[in-house]
Amino acid sequence: MTSPDHRELPQEHGHAIDRTQDRGGDLAAIPPLPGQDADPVAAADRLTGRLADVRQEIGQVIFGQRQVVEEVLVALLSGGHALLVGAPGLGKTLLVETLGTVLGLGARRVQFTPDLMPADITGSEILDEDGSGRRAFRFVAGPVFCQLLMADEINRASPRTQSALLQAMQEHRVAVAGTDYALPSPFHVLATQNPIEQEGTYPLPEAQLDRFMLQVDLTYPEAEAERAMLLATTGVPRAGARPVLAPGELLDAQALVRRLPVGEHVLEAILRLVRGARPESATDERLRRALAWGPGPRAAEALMLACRARALLDGRLSPSLEDVAALAHPVLRHRMALGFAARAEGITLGSLIDGLVQRLG
């Protein structure tokens, strides 16, 4: 069997670093990849100031929601995807649009509906006729060929259409009619989901959920943030966000995140946390009875990268146990499921994850 063709499509479109943390290794001793800065400490210094500008620019449009913005930026700096879950009107769409502008990414939005087909996302081949009358199939790229894809209300589409994103999210390419088409780089999916309405929706399958590095839950804003929002949205229209980074800078940041060293105690904490969340290997009898299934190895990978990204975002050269605790919920909450008995008893995933974090010490 011959392997399919592979084609490239053209793309569209100051804080000081804290060096007091336990590095778990010598950052400067890690060899850079081709094209990377030979001095990673200096690169981290420069990037920290740029990331501070990014957060400030996002704050001009998104009021409050500091933790939400931080978690989404962590997912993007890690090279991953995020699932935004929240009630209507909390700014999920505005946040994604603002991120696309501030990070300089070519963004597209797809409104997921029950009648949406996979070809509406990935693209399809059409029969084309040139001036000489010769006919040939031509591929028309779908909206997935962008750098930042907003999958709005992703759970309103059928599982068949949801699965169209599986290959794109994991492999950064799509296969149409036996031919692989590479997606632009960087490529990220930020999907939104409304937890209130269940009528006419299709729950995301476990394989789809596992592709999302983080599940970011949005709650109602605090009083001061809502007051500022009220004044800003009902008065004279304000200028929108401006670009701060370029796609190349985001790729450099993602490469730098992977070079940050991780201390042995942080590595062991990640392993204990993820393995302790599985009913097969959990040491807590209550947790074993409550869980139907737990996170796979991809959860540990996501937590390792996310901790590094959060440390860099905070101006540190290596992650700490605080990063593991802060990111445990967004990494694990969509990769675990309660059994029927646990739901009947009122046990929540949040309480189980809290217990796991407390045992980290």
Q: Give pLDDT tens digits for 37-65.
A: 557 788 888 888 899 999 999 998 998 88
Show which of 237, 259, 281 is a domain's final residue. Answer: 259
Whole-angstrom distance, CA of residue 72 vs CA of residue 84:
9
- The answer to whether residues 335 and 210 belong to one domain is no
CATH assignment of the domain containing 339? 1.10.8.80
Mean pLDDT of 276-282: 88
289: left (phi over 0), alpha (psi -120 to 50) or beta: alpha
- The answer to whether residues 322 and 207 belong to one domain is no
Q: Does residue 21 surpass a pLDDT of 80?
A: no
Other residues' Cβ atoms within 10 Å of the Cβ of residue 39: 13
First to last CA, the chain: 54
Q: Does residue 27 surpass a pLDDT of 60?
A: no
Please tell me the predicted confidence (pLDDT) of residue 354.
Answer: 94
Please tell me the predicted confidence (pLDDT) of residue 129.
Answer: 82
Show which of 214, 239, 259 is a domain's final residue. Answer: 259
The answer to whether residue 22 is domain-embedded is no
With cut-offs at 50, 70 and 90, classify the pLDDT of residue 36. Answer: low
- The answer to whether residues 4 and 66 belong to one domain is yes
Mean pLDDT check: name the lowest of 20-29, 125-134, 185-194: 20-29
Please tell me the predicted confidence (pLDDT) of residue 37.
Answer: 56
Whole-angstrom distance, CA of residue 148 vs CA of residue 200:
26
Please tell me the predicted confidence (pLDDT) of residue 235.
Answer: 81
Decide: helix, strand or coil at residue 178. Answer: coil
Mean pLDDT of 230-253: 88
- The answer to whether residues 212 and 286 belong to one domain is no
Please tell me the predicted confidence (pLDDT) of residue 186.
Answer: 95
Can you give the residue range of the structural domain that contains 86? Answer: 1-15+35-259
- The answer to whether residues 230 and 360 belong to one domain is no
The answer to whether residue 123 is domain-embedded is yes
- The answer to whether residues 73 and 89 belong to one domain is yes
Please tell me the predicted confidence (pLDDT) of residue 15.
Answer: 42
CB 75 within 8 A of CB 82: yes
Other residues' Cβ atoms within 10 Å of the Cβ of residue 122: 23
The answer to whether residue 91 is domain-embedded is yes
Q: What is the pTM of this model?
A: 0.85
Show which of 199, 227, 259 is a domain's final residue. Answer: 259
The answer to whether residue 308 is domain-embedded is yes
- The answer to whether residues 131 and 269 belong to one domain is no
Mean pLDDT of 199-220: 89
The answer to whether residue 171 is domain-embedded is yes
CATH assignment of the domain containing 141? 3.40.50.300
Please tell me the predicted confidence (pLDDT) of residue 212.
Answer: 95
Question: In the chain, how many domains are there?
Answer: 2
